[in-house]
Amino acid sequence: MKNTEEQSVIDKDSLISRRDVLLGLGAATATLAFSGNTTAAMPGHEHSKHSAQHPAVLNAVNTCTDKGTRCISHCLVAWNEGDLDLAACAKKVNEMNAICDGFSKLLAANSSHVNAYAKICRSVCKECAKECRKHDQHIECKECAEACEALVKSINKIFA
């Protein structure tokens, strides 16, 4: 039994605690983060590609997805109240949100696929605006249509 107790004492003394591991990982992460920041601050490091090349389009697409999310939420409330008239609207808005979300990410990343994707986004936003305009009496649908139309105009200015 003495060997077991001695072994237990040896194991406890030789073990690294979770706290020690976490502290070590934190220090390593901080070192990596610091070294990354100093590299970015070095002369000759190019920062122009860090922000979106088309900020107005990016803002418009993000507004569109926000208004679309609000429109879909409104449609869900209407459905819960038994009104199914907004089903086609919700379908188009859901499609638009998916496309605009992808377009937003491509714009933010300055992807080489932005030009091709702009055409798809423009087409989907036109369809969404057309459907939402049928429900102008609902503020959420009206605002979604307006956001889609504004995005189409923004895309036409840059990607005509």
Torsion of CA 132, 137, 143, 148, to 10 degrees: 20
d(C-alpha 63, C-alpha 150), whole Å: 9
Distance CA 30, CA 35 (A): 8
Greater confidence (13 vs 97) lies with: 97
Residue 151: is its pLDDT beyond 60? yes
**Per-residue model confidence as pLDDT tens digits over 54-71:** 999 999 999 999 999 999
The answer to whether 68 and 128 have CB atoms below 8 angstroms apart is yes
Selected residue with higher pLDDT from 20 and 143: 143
Least confident span in 33-47, 55-69, 101-115, 128-142 = 33-47
Q: How far apart are CA 64 and CA 36, in angstroms?
A: 35
- Above 90 in pLDDT, residue 24? no
| Angstrom distance (rounded) from CA 95 to CA 99 | 6
Per the prediction, the chain carries an average pLDDT of 84
Measured between alpha carbons, how far is residue 112 from residues 75, 81, 120 in Å?
Answer: 35, 45, 15
> Residue 67 has which token pair?
């208004």
Q: Does residue 6 or residue 114 have the better pLDDT?
A: 114
Assess whether pLDDT exceeds 90 at residue 10. Answer: no
For the stretch 108-120, pLDDT in tens is 999 999 999 999 9
Are 145 and 128 spatial neighbours (Cβ–Cβ below 8 Å)? yes
The tokens describing 32, both together, are 């990596």
In the block, tokens 């060997």 appear at 3
pLDDT of residue 53 exceeding 90: no
